[in-house]
C-alpha cells in the first residue's frame, strides 16, 4: 500500500465507489474499503431516476449498466388511499429511469473504482481513526467478523498490514465517509443526529410472478404506510413495504416471523393482494430501520460525508441513488481542490456543505411535505384527483422526483394555483 493515501473512502456503495473513481481518475492515491464482499444484496427500492444516467456516463459505466438489461421506466405511479392512480411521466415518456438489482449495480460501480486506479479492499471495515498534528489520519481497519483490538499508530509498517492478519493500519490525508445511514464515520465524529419525526421501517424482498406494469413502478399508499412494487430484469420484482411502527402499535418482528408480518401487510390492501396473488419468493426477506437519519454537518477537518451517511429521509420519491451520486460529484470536486492547495480543514471543505444544502434543501422540504400528505388519507386523495385532471402537473412532479427539474418549482404560486383549480 501507499505510505500515505490522499484519501480513504469508507463504504463501497454507489456514493463511495463513485468518490473513489473520481478521485483516482484525477491522479490521487485512493483506498476504498467495505465490510461486505461484492456482489452483495442491499435493501433498496432498486430504482434509478433518469438524472443518474448522466452520472453513470460521466463515470464511464453506462455501457456496462445497459449490458445488464435493466428495465426502463417511463415514470412512476402513485395509488392514493381511495384508489385514484396518478402516473407521472418523465419528459412525456422520452426520458427513462432504470430498475436493476443493487446486487449488480453496486458491483459494477465498485469494479469501476478499481479500474480507475483506486485500491479496493473488500471484507474490511473501519474500526477507528485519529487525526495527528501533521493532519494525517491513522485509520485502523478490521477484517469483517474479527474482533477489533485498538493498536497504536506504530503497530504496523507504514501503510502496510499489521502483524495480526485480521487488522491493518493505513494513513490518509482525508476520509470520505460513505458508510450509509448508520455511518461509523459520522458517529465517530459526533455528527449523527436523531430524526424523531420519521421512524419508518422497510421490509423488502424479490419475487417472481408479480402482476405489475412493465414500464413503470408503483407506490401504493396503504393504512400502514405504503408498498412499492418495482419490476426488475429477469422477471423479478422488488416488493417493499414501508411501515410506521407508531401506526402498527407493535415492534417489527425478526427471523421466521418476518415473513408472516410481510404477508399480513400485503393482504391488508386489495391492490397489493392482487399484485402478489401468484408471486413466489426469489430469496429471503430483509428488514431495516429506522430509515431516516441526518448529520449535523457533512464536513469536518479532513472529512466529508457522502450518500446516506450525510443524511437520508424516505425512499418514497426514489431519489436516493441520484442524490448520492450528485452529492459525491460535489464532494470530489471540493476535495480535489483542497488536496491541491494542501488545506483540508473544515473551512476549506465548507463549499461542499454549502453546495449540498443549496442543491438538496428544496428536495428534503418536498419529502417532508409529501410525508405530511401521505399521513392524511383525505388530503392524499384530494391531491391525487387533481393531479389526474392535470397531467402536466403530474409529469412535473415526476420530473422533480426524477431529479430532472428543481424541486423549488413545486413551491411556486403557479403550481399551487393550478393544483387548486384543476
pTM for the structure as a whole: 0.90
Rg (CA), the chain: 22
Structure confidence at residue 201 (pLDDT): 87
Q: What is the pLDDT of residue 401?
A: 82
Tell me the C-alpha distance between 183 and 179, whole Å: 5
- pLDDT tens column, 242-293: 987 766 566 666 667 899 999 999 999 999 999 999 999 999 999 988 777 7
For the cut 70, the answer to whether the pLDDT of residue 148 exceeds it is: no
Dump pLDDT digits (tens) for 207-219. 999 999 989 999 9
pLDDT confidence band for 152 (50 / 70 / 90): very low
The per-residue pLDDT for 348 is: 97
Quote the CA–CA distance of 406 and 369 in Å, as a whole number. 15
- When the pLDDT of each residue in the chain is averaged and rounded to a whole number, the result is 88
Q: What is the pLDDT of residue 246?
A: 67
CA separation (Å) from 400 to 51, 247, 289? 10, 29, 26
pLDDT (tens digit per residue) in 332-368: 999 999 999 999 999 999 999 999 999 888 888 888 8
DSSP state of 147: P
Percent of the chain predicted with pLDDT > 70: 90
Residues 5-47+107-194+293-362, CATH architecture: 3-Layer(bba) Sandwich (3.50)
Residue 313 has pLDDT above 60, yes or no: yes
Sheet with strand 192-193: strands edge to edge: 192-193, 293-295, 311-312
Q: Is 255 left (phi over 0), alpha (psi -120 to 50) or beta?
A: left
Is the confidence at residue 32, as pLDDT, over 90?
A: yes
Over 80: is that where the pLDDT of 382 sits?
Answer: yes
> Mapping DSSP to helix (H, G, I), strand (E, B) and coil, where does residue 142 land?
strand
Contact, 18 vs 11, CB < 8 A? no
- Residue 265 is inside which H or E element, if any? helix 257-267
Q: How far apart are CA 152 and CA 240, in angstroms?
A: 44
Q: Note the pLDDT of residue 2.
A: 53
| CA 239 – CA 377 distance, rounded (Å) | 22
Strongest mean pLDDT among 176-190, 290-304, 366-380 = 176-190
User: In this predicted structure, which of 15-29, 127-141, 301-315, 396-410 has the lowest mean pLDDT?
Assistant: 396-410
The mean pLDDT value for 289-303 works out to 87
Model pLDDT, residue 155:
34
Question: pLDDT confidence of 200, banded at 50, 70, 90?
Answer: confident
- pLDDT one-digit tens code per residue, 86-129: 999 988 656 889 999 999 999 999 999 999 999 999 999 999 99
Does residue 154 register a pLDDT over 70?
no
Q: Above 80 in pLDDT, residue 161?
A: no
Domain ranges of the chain: 5-47+107-194+293-362
Q: Given this model, what pLDDT does residue 408 score?
A: 82
Strands 216-221 and 293-295: unpaired
On whether the CB atoms of residues 171 and 137 are closer than 8 A, the answer is: yes
- Looking at 73-219, list the stretches that DSSP marks H as alpha helix, in order from N- to C-terminal side: 102-115, 184-188
Amino acid at each position: 500500500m501507499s505510505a500515505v493515501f490522499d484519501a480513504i473512502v469508507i463504504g463501497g456503495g454507489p456514493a463511495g465507489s463513485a468518490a473513489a473513481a473520481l478521485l483516482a481518475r484525477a491522479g490521487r492515491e485512493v483506498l476504498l474499503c467495505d465490510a461486505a464482499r461484492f456482489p452483495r444484496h442491499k435493501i433498496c427500492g432498486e430504482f434509478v431516476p433518469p438524472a443518474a444516467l448522466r452520472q453513470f456516463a460521466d463515470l464511464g459505466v453506462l455501457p456496462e449498466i445497459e449490458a445488464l438489461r435493466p428495465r426502463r421506466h417511463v415514470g412512476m405511479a402513485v395509488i392514493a388511499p381511495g384508489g385514484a392512480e396518478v402516473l407521472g411521466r418523465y419528459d412525456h415518456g422520452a426520458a427513462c429511469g432504470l430498475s436493476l438489482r443493487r446486487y449488480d449495480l453496486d458491483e459494477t460501480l465498485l469494479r469501476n473504482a478499481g479500474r480507475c486506479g483506486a485500491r479496493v479492499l473488500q471484507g474490511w471495515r473501519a474500526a477507528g481513526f485519529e487525526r495527528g498534528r501533521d493532519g494525517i489520519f491513522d485509520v485502523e481497519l478490521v477484517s469483517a467478523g474479527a474482533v477489533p483490538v485498538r493498536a497504536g499508530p506504530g503497530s504496523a509498517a507504514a501503510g502496510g498490514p499489521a502483524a495480526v492478519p485480521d487488522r491493518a493500519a493505513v494513513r490518509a490525508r482525508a476520509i470520505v465517509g460513505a458508510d450509509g445511514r448508520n455511518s461509523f464515520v459520522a458517529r465517530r465524529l459526533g455528527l449523527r443526529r436523531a430524526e424523531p419525526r420519521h421512524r419508518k421501517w422497510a421490509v423488502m424482498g424479490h419475487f417472481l410472478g408479480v402482476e405489475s406494469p412493465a414500464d413503470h413502478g408503483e407506490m401504493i399508499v396503504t393504512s400502514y404506510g405504503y408498498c412499492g412494487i418495482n419490476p426488475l430484469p429477469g422477471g423479478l420484482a422488488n416488493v417493499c413495504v414501508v411501515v410506521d411502527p407508531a401506526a402498527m402499535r407493535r415492534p417489527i418482528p425478526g427471523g421466521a416471523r418476518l415473513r408472516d408480518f410481510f404477508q399480513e401487510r400485503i393482504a391488508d390492501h386489495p391492490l397489493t393482494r392482487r399484485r402478489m396473488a401468484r408471486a413466489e419468493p426469489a430469496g429471503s426477506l430483509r428488514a431495516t430501520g429506522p430509515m431516516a437519519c441526518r448529520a449535523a454537518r457533512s464536513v469536518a477537518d479532513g472529512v466529508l460525508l457522502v450518500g446516506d451517511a450525510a443524511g437520508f429521509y424516505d425512499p418514497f420519491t426514489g431519489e436516493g441513488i441520484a442524490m448520492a451520486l450528485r452529492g459525491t460529484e460535489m464532494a470530489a470536486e471540493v476535495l480535489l481542490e483542497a488536496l491541491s492547495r494542501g488545506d483540508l480543514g473544515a473551512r476549506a471543505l465548507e463549499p461542499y456543505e454549502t453546495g449540498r444544502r443549496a442543491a438538496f434543501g428544496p428536495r428534503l422540504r418536498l419529502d417532508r411535505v409529501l410525508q405530511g400528505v401521505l399521513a392524511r388519507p383525505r388530503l392524499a386523495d384530494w391531491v391525487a384527483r387533481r393531479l389526474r385532471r392535470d397531467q402536466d402537473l403530474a409529469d412535473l412532479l415526476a420530473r422533480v422526483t426524477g431529479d430532472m427539474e428543481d424541486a423549488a418549482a413545486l413551491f411556486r404560486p403557479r403550481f399551487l394555483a393550478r393544483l387548486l383549480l384543476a
